[in-house]
Amino acid sequence: MLRGVIICPNRELRTQIETALEPIGGLTLLRAFDHYPTTLELSRFLRAQGPNLVFLSVESVTQALASNKELEGCCPGIQVIALERACDPQVLLEVMRAGVREFLTPPFERSLLMDSLRRVQEVLEKKPVASETSDLLYSFLPSKAGVGTSTIALNTAVALSKIEKTRTFLGDFDLSSGMVRFMLKLDNSYSVIDAAERSEDIDEQFWPQLITSMGTLDILHAGKLNPNFRVEPGQMRNLLHFVRRNYRVICADLSGNLERYSTELMHESKRIFLVCTPEIPSLHLAREKYQYLQSVDLGDRVSILLNRCQKRPVISAAQIESLLGLPIQMTFPNDYQGVTHALAEGRPVDFASELGRQCNALAESMLNHKSNPVGEPKKRFIEFFSIAPGRYGLEGRKSNA
């Protein structure tokens, strides 16, 4: 699929190329600039929209070549088709020296235009545009409703954003009972639903209206209950395509209902954090979900997060690991009072608390700041009792539980 943008200050020429491109399938026209954008404006657009083709007017050769240099610097491999009202040999020579190999003039005959687009497509198939995208996408999946997944996801995202001011995105994709909006008392009327509906044309102007910012953390909440709306997998792919170009780390808070769009999102994830509590119903459903994820080739991405742990558990860690067939990646204490106070004030938990420290430890492991990154084999959870009775956490890190 070609994703194109027009940069053409000349209104007549711009209208002609837009009209010629309109009936062509396999091409999405993202935007038509009526001026040569500044370096900052162009870089923001490229990062937000990720085009692979630019129709560039060479009415001003100097400005056009400057834009072409910026295009290649931001998105190596991006294809450029030069536009001019007349075929000036001197201009043609200059743009060819700059690496532009396609050149079109009005009236933009369909056959010539299609030939040019085919050549561009062939080049892109051999060497796609090299745009920077993040692979640090993490899904938080509850074993069942009420196990505290949103609490862990939210506070881990906050912790991530505070580590070296990492640009972090938290998306609440639980359309049936999303809690992030309530937890932070957000009043933004836009939600995941709006982002999904506009997923094909989200740009750098609309995106700030969708999200709520807390420092370097941007949050997209689930909105009000809307059981009739379903995010399509294609909408999710488009949304992730945008988010990955704009954030270093992406956290997705899922419903646990295993919707098609959730499965699509998990297939794009680096890790899937399956959150459960040390209770029989939660553990039973955690095992069921792990088995399902194995059946769709996602089993090797799953890590277990055990929430609301007690110092004297009824079910031992070894029993839990045996039941689930997975080691426990990390544990979180049952901090009812701390979470309740945070909810009442619409803020994250206190990061000096045990729960806050564990969320911070998970965040550091997600950025590979620890010697034992998320997902690597580690000692069995039960072995930590030999280090300090009643104390457990990530390998090499002790914390009260």
Our measurement of the distance from residue 327's CA atom to the centroid of its chain's CA atoms, rounded to an integer in Å, reads: 27
pLDDT digits 0-9 by tens, 69-101: 999 888 899 999 999 998 889 999 999 999 999
Spatial separation of the C-alpha atoms in residues 3 and 260, rounded to whole Å? 26
Residue 218 or residue 41, greater confidence: 218
pLDDT digits 0-9 by tens, 228-273: 888 998 899 889 989 998 999 999 999 999 999 999 999 999 999 9
How much is the pTM?
0.71
CB atoms within 10 A of CB 209: 10
| Residue 264 CA: distances (Å) to CA of 112, 156, 244, 258 | 39, 22, 15, 10
Mean pLDDT of 360-364: 97
Mean pLDDT of 8-22: 96
Spatial separation of the C-alpha atoms in residues 245 and 293, rounded to whole Å? 27
Pairing status of strand 79-83 against strand 168-172? unpaired
**pLDDT given at position 401:** 33
Q: Long-range contacts made by residues 90-99, C-beta under 8 angstroms, separation at least 24?
A: 91/58, 91/61, 94/61, 94/65, 95/58, 95/61, 95/64, 95/65, 95/68, 98/65, 98/68, 98/69, 99/68, 99/72
**pLDDT given at position 399:** 36
Ordered by where they begin, the domains of the chain are: 2-126 (3.40.50.2300), 136-386 (3.40.50.300)
Report which DSSP code applies to 393: -
**pLDDT given at position 369:** 54
Q: Look at residue 90 and give its three-state secondary structure.
A: helix
Mean pLDDT of the chain: 89
Vertex 137, ends 135 and 138: CA angle to 5°?
Answer: 145
Spatial separation of the C-alpha atoms in residues 160 and 365, rounded to whole Å? 10
pLDDT digits 0-9 by tens, 266-301: 999 999 999 999 999 999 999 999 999 999 999 999
User: Of the ranges 42-56, 282-296, 319-333, which one carries the lowest mean pLDDT score?
Assistant: 42-56
